[in-house]
Every structure is written in structure tokens, then in C-alpha cells.
Structure 1
Amino acid sequence: MLENGYIVWEGASLLDNSPIFLVLTGFVFPTSNRRTGRQIQSWILQQDFTPTKAAKEGLDQGVCGNCSLRMSQTGACYVSLLPVNNVYHKYTRRAYPKFGANEMAMLKHYRYPIRIGSYGDPTAVPFEVWEPIISASKRWTGFTHQWSHCDSRWKKYLMASVHSSSEARVAQNQGWRTFRIIAPNAPLSENEILCRHTEDDRVQCDSCGLCNGASSKPNIADPVHGLNWKVSNFMKYLNQQ
């Protein structure tokens, strides 16, 4: 019987060698996230700490790397961690079956679109773990804050997450397409377009697919969104740059 979630991999983070794991969910019950639509969600989490504890105490470097939006840094990360805790607790109960050949075949057959890194930076997990899953899916979106030093093969699949025009230029010069979070009503750079969901909230990531790595497609900008206090923290961070 098809399960909603599967454990894909457990091992040492490529970011700091701490024990982490990768879970895929959404095979039966789609995410309630209106922005992403029906994408398979992927969760990269620390093995030893709940996501809320890891984020609050700065123990999340193994899954978040050097992201400046971490809760222990600027407190501007838009992800709500309470639902992510549920994934962690189910993992600790060993309630997720192993993702195997049958599930991979199902992914190839139905071509489920996948969100690479619903929480956690994809580059914390070996590229060789991800690529068969991405190839089976055929449609994906994904981002990394580790673009300056991660495996260059990720350029094919991920956008570089950046927070300024100057940072975007550096990443683009290194061969990345960029996804830039901007202040509300901030101007776009000449080589950027606005996130299509922001322009029309009927457009979802599963059908849009623009944020899928290096290509001739334009770079993307998106006004900061989320809880008011997180938006406020992001604006403080921008003003300090």
C-alpha cells in the first residue's frame, strides 16, 4: 500500500558532518501549501534535535549551513517549524518506511513534481542520493544558500538563494540562476522577473516550474512574505547590508 511519506537517507551532513536524514512526503495527502501546489515535499532534518530546538539554539547548521536567515542569526526564515516537528517525531518513532525500488518506479510512472528542500538545504545530502529521485520526477523546484561552495553539479537543478543585487551578480557570474528575496515594492533587476505566484496566486510551483536550475530562463525575485515579525526581521537584515 502506498504510504504518504518515506525515509530516503540517513547519514553525515555534507555541511558539518552532523547526523541528518531525508524524508519525502505528500504521496497520498498533498501539502496544504497553496504556493507550491501538489509537489512531493522533502525534509532534511537533524537526527538528534527537534527542528524548533535546533533552530532556536543554532544547532541547525547541518541542515541549514550558512544561511543568514536562520532563526539563531536574523530570525527571518519564513518556514513554520511546528509542522516540521511532526515529520521529526514520526521519524523518531520509525514510522516512515524505506523509500525503495517500488517507490522509485512509482515516481517514474506518475512523474510527481518534487520540491527539493521544503526545509533544509538540499546540498547537505549527497548529490548521488538526490539525482535518481529528481530524474525520476522530471519536474522539480529547488534552492540553495550554499551556492558559493557546494558541488557545482547542483547548478543543473537548484537556484542560488540570494538577498541583494550584488550577491545575485556574483552567483550569476558563477553560472547560477538566482532567486532573490526583495523588500515589498523593491525594483527588479533588468534580468529578473517577479515570481509568477506573486503576480497571480492561481499559479503554483508544481505547474510553473521556473525555479529549476541553470537554463536560459530568467532569474526570479519575490517580495518577502510570511509572519509579520519574520518580515520585520528580514527588513532589518536588508537594511544592515
Structure 2
Amino acid sequence: MLENSYLVWEGASLIDASPIFLVLTGFVYPTPNRRTGRLLQSWILQQEFLPTYAAKQGFDTGICGTCTLKMSQTGSCYVQLGYLNNIYRKYIAGTYPKFGAKEIGIIERYRYPIRIGSYGDPTAVPFDVWEPIILASNKWTGYSHFWSHCDERWKKYLMASVQTSSEAKQAQHQGWRTFRIIAPDAPLSNNEILCRNAEDDRTRCEDCFLCDGSSSKPNIADRVHGLNWKVSNFVKYVNQH
């Protein structure tokens, strides 16, 4: 019987060697995330800390690296952490079935699209864990803030997640396509287009897939979104840089 969620991997983070784990959700019940639509979601969490606690205390380096959006830094990460606490509790209780070849086959048969890193940086998990899932899916979106230090093979699948024009130029110079979060009234760079959902909220990731790593597609910018106080924190940050 197909389950909705699976434990894919657990081990040492490639960012700081702390114990982390990866869970895939959405096989049966689609995500409520209206922006993405029906993509499998992937969650990378610390093994030793409740997500809300880890984020508040800055114990999330193993999954988020030095991302400037973290709650312990600018406090502008758009992810709602309460839901992640439920995933963590199920992991601690040992109720997730293990992901394996059977589930890879299901993804390949039905071509489930996947969001690589719904929370947590995908590059914290070994590339060889991810690639069979990505290839089976054949459709994905994904981003990394750790682009300057990660396995070069990730350029095929991930966008470099950046917050400033200078960061974007640096990442592009290194061969990455970029995804830049911008303030609500900020202009686009010459080589960027606006996220299609920002232009028309009826367009979802499952309709688009522009954010799929290296290709001839343009770089993407998206207006900051989320709770008002997080948006305000982000605007303050970019105005200082």
C-alpha cells in the first residue's frame, strides 16, 4: 500500500556533519502549498532538535548552513515551522516507512514531480541519495544557498539562491542559474524574469518548472512573500546591502 510519506535517508550533514534526515511527503495527499501545486515535498531536518527550537536557537546549520534568511539571522525565512514539528515528531516516533526501490519505481511510473528541498538545503544530503529520485521524477524545482561550496554536479538540478545583485553575479560567473528574492518594489536585473506565480498566482510550480537548474532558461527573481513581519525583516536586510 502506498504511504503518503517516507523516510529517505538519515546521516551526517555535508555542511557541518551534524545528524540530519530527509523525508518525502505528498505521495497520496497533495501539499496544501498553493504556489507549488502537486509536487512531492522534501524536508531536511536536524535529528536532535525540534525544528522551531533549532531555528530559534541557531541549531540549524546542518540543514540551512549560513543562509541569511534563517530565523536566527534576519528572521525572514518564509517556511512555516509548525508543520515541520509534526514531521519531526513522527520521525522520532519511528512511524515513517523506509523509502526504497519500490517507491523509486512509483515515482518513475507516475512521474511525480518533486520539490528538492522544501525546507533545508538539498546539498546537506549526499548527491547520490537525491539523483535517482530526481531522474525517476524527470520534473523538479530546487534551490541552494550553499552553491559556492557544494558538489558541482548540483548545477544540473538546482538554482543558486541569492538575495543581492552582487551575489547573483558571483553565482552566474561560477556557472549557476540564479533565483533571487527581491523586495516588493525592487527592479529586475537585465538577465532576470519575474517568477510566473508572482505575475499570475494561478500559475504554479507544477505548471512551470523554470527553476530546474542549469539550462538556457533565464534567471528568476521573486518578490519576497510570507508573513508581514518576515517580509519587513527581509526588506531591512536588503536595504543594508
Band of TM-score, shorter chain: over 0.9
Give the gaps of 5 or more residues in structure 2: none
Alignment of 1:156-195 (within 5 A): 156-195=156-195
Whole-angstrom CA distance in 2 between matches of 1:207 and 1:9: 29
Whole-angstrom CA distance in 2 between matches of 1:233 and 1:201: 23
SS at match of 1:8: strand
**Matching residue of 1:154:** 154
Letter in 2 for 1:39: L
Letter in 2 for 1:216: S
Q: CA deviation at 1:185?
A: 2.0
**Matching residue of 1:54:** 54
Whole-angstrom CA distance in 2 between matches of 1:17 and 1:166: 29
Alignment of 1:17-28 (within 5 A): 17-28=17-28
**Matching residue of 2:6:** 6
Whole-angstrom CA distance in 1 between matches of 2:228 and 2:196: 22
Do structure 1's residue 204 and structure 2's residue 204 form an aligned pair?
yes
Whole-angstrom CA distance in 1 between matches of 2:80 and 2:226: 9
Identity of aligned residues (%): 73
Deviations 1:176-199 (A, max 9, x none): 000000011211111100000011
**Matching residue of 1:230:** 230
**Matching residue of 2:214:** 214
Whole-angstrom CA distance in 2 between matches of 1:152 and 1:207: 28
Deviations 1:10-66 (A, max 9, x none): 000000000000000000000000000000000000000010000000000000001
Letter in 1 for 2:111: R
Give the gaps of 5 or more residues in structure 1: none
Deviations 1:115-164 (A, max 9, x none): 00000000000000000000000000000000111111000000000011
Alignment of 1:42-121 (within 5 A): 42-121=42-121
Do structure 1's residue 32 and structure 2's residue 32 form an aligned pair?
yes
SS at match of 1:6: strand
RMSD: 0.5
Whole-angstrom CA distance in 2 between matches of 1:105 and 1:72: 39
Q: CA deviation at 1:207?
A: 1.8
Q: CA deviation at 1:73?
A: 0.7
Whole-angstrom CA distance in 1 between matches of 2:50 and 2:64: 14
Whole-angstrom CA distance in 2 between matches of 1:37 and 1:185: 26
SS at match of 1:41: strand
Letter in 2 for 1:68: T
TM-score scaled by structure 1? 0.99
TM-score scaled by structure 2? 0.99
Runs of 4+ off more than 6 Å: none
SS at match of 1:166: helix
| Number of residue-to-residue matches in the alignment | 241
Q: CA deviation at 1:239?
A: 1.4
Whole-angstrom CA distance in 1 between matches of 2:101 and 2:212: 25
